[in-house]
Amino acid sequence: MKTTRLLPAGTVSSPGAPHCAGNTCPGIIPGNCATTHAEVNALAKAQQLLESADVVDLYVTHSPCRECMVQIMNSHLSVRRLLFEVPYRNSDHLVTLRQPYRRRMAGLSYKRNTAVYEVTPAGYIVEYFSRRVVELP
């Protein structure tokens, strides 16, 4: 039986420090950010509530940075669709999600890929790479 439920949202958090803002942040250098991004927090919460083989859709405000994309790919959950409103300052790495990537779980190896969509201010859902407006079931 297929069930649909909304899971807790993730928030941006930084241990003992306020979240940095914009391109002056030291975290602009990959691997130099102490902040836990919302995508990683949301996935961590979802992994506590769901079975490892569950399929999820991930809704975020900004498209994931490179480090968050790696977390999405390595998640124990199968992220079927990623929807965002604002493209990250550099989103070239998102093409990796589009292509099938290998995942190992419970001793099995399988391929999966994640569809990537941008939600426009007018509410249209646009396939990120082809720029085509789509309707999702």
- The DSSP code sequence of the chain is -----PPPPP--B-TTSPPP-GGGSGGGSTT---PBPHHHHHHHHHHHHS-TT-EEEEEEEE---HHHHHHHHH-SSEEEEEEEEE--S--GGGHHHHS-EEEEETTEEEEE--EEEEE-TTS-EEETTT--EE---
- The larger pLDDT score, comparing residue 113 to residue 35, is at 113
Averaged over 71-94, what is the pLDDT? Answer: 84
Instruction: Give the pLDDT score at 89.
Output: 78
Residues 104-114 pLDDT 10s: 554 545 556 88
Q: What is the pTM of this model?
A: 0.73
